[in-house]
Amino acid sequence: MKRAHERERRTRGKRIPGERVEAPLVWTFDGPFATCLQDMEDTFRRAIVQVGDVSKIAVQIDLSLPALKPRVEAGEAIQPAWGHFVDRLSQRYGLPARPRVRHLKVAGPLATMVIAYRS
């Protein structure tokens, strides 16, 4: 058991021969919050088809808080749509982990989705 642990520790972070790390796919979304969520899910679904069978995949979503604030002040609902969206991405598409979400304090598009993968 100790040998397996040592072997795992030595190989962690190292690339497996024949495995390629591709450039990440990046999209930005702006507009009503519910529409952005629908567009992100549709884009994610299309990206999964585009990249095909991959050994590892990670999803990150950056939310611009300055872009979100006027939408909330105008009465747009964030929940439960956001929770359902994250659950669908995690469960329906078989992601190994929930998408990582970063809350940015800089102005920009409402959401940026980054998909990184290894083939």
Q: Which CATH number fits domain 19-118: 3.40.50, 3.30.1330, 3.30.70, 3.30.530?
A: 3.30.1330
Domain ranges of the chain: 19-118
Average pLDDT over residues 72-89: 92
Judge if pTM exceeds 0.75.
yes
Three-class DSSP labels, the chain: CHHHHHHHHHHCCCCCCCCCECCCEEEEECCCHHHHHHHHHHHHHHHHHHHCCCCEEEEEEEEEHHHHHHHHHCCCCCCCHHHHHHHHHHHHCCCCCCCEEEEECCCCCCEEEEEEEEC
Tell me: pLDDT of 105 over 50: yes
* pLDDT bucket at 20, cuts 50 / 70 / 90: low
* Least trusted range by pLDDT, from 20-29, 32-41, 65-74, 103-112: 20-29
